């Protein structure tokens, strides 16, 4: 690999693989966190713990406690 010795080449390739695997795992964690937040919001709305309404796009909108329906 570009005139490098085998050990250096192996370290570069292994480091690249580990870095890519880390970035993939990090991205999955963020996606999982968004799913947990969404599920928690839906549970709280359906259980009556928070005031909410659907906006014009069908998204859940939380209503501040000082605002009237």
Range among 3-7, 14-18, 40-44, 52-56 with highest mean pLDDT value: 14-18
60 close to 52: Cβ distance less than 8 angstroms: yes
Instruction: Write down the pTM of the prediction.
Output: 0.48
Instruction: Report phi then psi at 47, rounded to 5.
Output: -85, -5
Structure tokens at 63: 């209503």
Q: How far apart are CA 34 and CA 17, in angstroms?
A: 26
- When pLDDT is cut at 50, 70 and 90, the band that residue 15 belongs to is very high
Q: Answer whether residue 30 shows pLDDT above 70.
A: no
Q: Please tell me the predicted confidence (pLDDT) of residue 34.
A: 79
């Amino acid at each position: 690999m570009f005139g490098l010795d085998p050990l250096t080449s192996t370290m570069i390739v292994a480091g690249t693989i580990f870095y890519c695997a880390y970035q993939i795992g990090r991205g999955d964690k963020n996606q999982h966190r968004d799913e947990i937040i969404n599920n928690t919001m839906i549970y709280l709305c359906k259980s009556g713990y928070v005031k909410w309404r659907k906006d014009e796009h069908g998204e859940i909108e939380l209503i501040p406690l000082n605002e009237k329906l």
